[in-house]
Amino acid sequence: MSGKTLLALLGILILATFLRFWDLGSTPPGLYPDEAMNGNNATEAIDNSNFEVFYRDNNGREGLFINIQALSISIFGNKPWALRGVSGIFGVLTVLGIFLLAREMFRSHKNRDRLALLSAFFLATSFWHINFSRIGFRAITAPFFLVWGLYFFFKFYNDTGTAQAQIISAAIGGLLFGLGFHSYIAYRAAPALLVPLTIFGWNKSRRDTCFPCLVLIFILFIAIAFIPLGLYFLDHPADFFGRTSQISIFSEPSPVKAFIVNAAKTIGMFWVYGDPNWRHNFSGAPELSVIVGIFFLIAIIISIKNIFRKTSEPLERFNSVFLLFWIVLMLLPVMISSEGLPHALRSIIAIPPVMILSAFGLEKTLEYSKKWLKQNKEQYPAYSGQLSRIGREFSLLLTVMIIAIAANAYDIYFNRWAPHPEVYAAFNTRDWNIVEYLNTLPDEVGKYVIIRDERLNSRTVTISSQSVLFGTNTFLAEVRLRKNFHYISEENLNAEFKKKLPENAVIVFLNKDDISFAASLVKKYSRIRLMVHGDFIALIIFPL
């Protein structure tokens, strides 16, 4: 690797780090209950010194990411950025991983460093990836483990290095690939990616190492990484499927029709209409920017030609097959689901091949441009000066385009998406404002958090209350008792107040529509006063 390539990679990693960590304390705002549920499970694990391989709350989640978040919480406390910073680290490391993977995949390509840099740059500046790198969802780990696992697979697939180095690559790659099963349910389709790699690798001639032996080592370490989760699923088979059966198209009246519609929506999300959920995307915007989307489309066309054209270079033909197969394979779980499509989160494992293909499309565009300039200079030597000027202008255009992509990434996330009122609501920011208020109150003040239309659970309370539970660090029953917190329904509050009105307490409402109930309490009890605090109301019960 040249010094220029290393310097460019460093610049891309700095850019990726900036876009994933800048203003992480307040952007995105608030804390979504699913993120907070991770934090509460992590808090409980720290308290009990019992770190689970699978957490059953909230439809069930693989435990690795939550256990890493527990480490962050133990250091930084119950802050949203303590949960989200873990995602940011995985996001930045995935940018490094995609550079190494693309460079290894295109090992014999004359411009492999540039193609790898473009892949990393497109991922670094992708709103799709930036957004999930700043949210405390475990799904961000799936592309990380897959990219790094495949990188080490390609290390021995390409028969590079000594036999000992290839054995180490097989072991590390298998371990990382296997840890991906601890990331996100959609990752379970990933083993199918090994099929074309194994078939093509088996047919490679003049290898210095035993390829089948290396594949077996890779698979062995996948099994080792999967064993803890596999044993858990043997004991709890229902948790293996989670919500899959609930949202499957096979529960629809016409599964075939549903699949066709879902496929059209999923394919269209790259260029036409993306995820409408403000938490996942700038609602409805395509998942790819216009520029990247164009190069992705160019790459798809070239890749399809490479597959069917007999004169194609073997490396390009294989990479075309593999990358397209990767995208289709990882989008299939999305297409057979019947909820919220197009769905950027469930499609997250398709991001790396999309970015590599987009980089391939730009690289091919550059190759064709240089070839065209060279041919025309030879054919029309009288216009050599003008053609050279066109080449320089094209290089300038490329530089401007790169700067524009980076600037657009910052602008769309920080200037357009983050301040949007819908984003404020999507991350339950109102609940976090309640958290900050409650945290200012001393332990002797009773805090009554009113929950409506949900069944209260003695341990987890409710899903909607997770943000308040995490932010006030009151998920554990003994802590709630010590801090004088009461999570209670309207009916139970009325019953409790009929027995005895607290001497000194505050009542807050998680439901925005509880104003009528609050008014009835003010009317009924003379010691209760209404207070408007920002975007929520609180009732103050004054001492006698």
Checking if the pLDDT of 245 tops 60, the result is no
Q: Residue 324 is encoded by which pair of tokens?
A: 């397209």
Q: Mean of the pLDDT values across residues 377-384?
A: 84
Checking if the pLDDT of 304 tops 90, the result is yes
Question: For residue 300, what pLDDT band results from cuts at 50, 70 and 90?
Answer: very high
Q: How far is CA 38 from CA 66, 83, 138, 402, in A?
A: 6, 8, 9, 37
Checking if the pLDDT of 146 tops 60, the result is yes
52 within 8 A of 45, measured Cβ to Cβ = yes
Q: What does DSSP assign to residue 244?
A: T
CA count, 13 A, side-chain hemisphere, 486:
19
d(CA 103, CA 97): 10
Residue showing tokens 């202008």: 393
Q: How many CB atoms lie within 10 A of CB 448?
A: 22
Dmax of the chain from CA atoms? 100
Q: What does DSSP assign to residue 441?
A: S
20 within 8 A of 130, measured Cβ to Cβ = yes
Q: What is the DSSP string of 309-348?
A: -TTS-HHHHHHHHHHHHHHHHHHHHHHTB-SSSS-TTTTG
315 within 8 A of 115, measured Cβ to Cβ = no
Q: Mean of the pLDDT values across residues 130-155?
A: 98
Centroid of chain to Cα 143 = 8
Task: Give percent of the chain above pLDDT 90.
Answer: 77
Checking if the pLDDT of 526 tops 80, the result is yes
461 within 8 A of 487, measured Cβ to Cβ = yes
Q: Is the dihedral of CA 470, 475, 478, 483 positive or negative?
A: positive
Question: For residue 378, what pLDDT band results from cuts at 50, 70 and 90?
Answer: confident
Q: How far is CA 512 from CA 44, 419, 425, 451, 485, in A?
A: 29, 21, 12, 11, 20
Residue showing tokens 């072991």: 171
480 within 8 A of 520, measured Cβ to Cβ = no
> Which tens digit of pLDDT belongs to each residue from 310-339?
877 888 889 999 999 999 999 998 998 877
> Which tens digit of pLDDT belongs to each residue from 6-45?
999 999 999 999 999 999 999 999 999 999 999 999 999 9
